[in-house]
Amino acid sequence: RPSPVNAIICSSARDTVGAAQVVIDMNKVGDVLIVGTDESPDIRRYVDNGVVTASIVRDSAAIGRAAVQAFSARRSGQKALAPLESGFTIYQAAEKSK
């Protein structure tokens, strides 16, 4: 028999919300660790309530700026720019006082 699922790594906000709802519906909150992606009011609520352990939030503004720069460079005939590390933050619940 396979081992029970004890962690879910999500690749989008939609996956994160869906995984959180399944864990709630199956009464597995605290038994299954969820690492989400992106940020939304639902994801913040799930993190704050301990359903989602943390969510990796991409820097969309930096990604957008890099896309505009790359488009402008290519349009001017320049070669492709080097890959960009746009950065991210991790949203997790604040530790509760003991």
| pLDDT tens digits, 44-74 | 999 999 999 999 999 988 889 888 988 898 8
Please, which residues have CB within 8 angstroms of residue 12's CB and are 6 or more apart in sequence?
37, 38
The burial of 46, by beta-carbon neighbours within 10 Å (0-12 exposed, 13-18 middle, 19 or more buried), is given as: buried
Q: How many residues does the chain have?
A: 98
Q: What does the pLDDT look like over 13-47, one tens digit per residue? A: 999 999 999 999 999 999 999 999 999 999 999 99
Please, which residues have CB within 8 angstroms of residue 80's CB and are 6 or more apart in sequence?
70, 73, 74
Specify the pLDDT at position 10. Answer: 98
By the 8 A CB rule, do 55 and 43 touch? yes
Supply the DSSP symbol for 12. S
Q: Catalogue all structural domains in the chain, each as residue range(s) with its CATH number.
A: 1-57 (3.40.50.2300), 59-89 (no CATH)
Specify the pLDDT at position 81. Answer: 73
Average pLDDT value for the chain: 90
Specify the pLDDT at position 53. Answer: 96
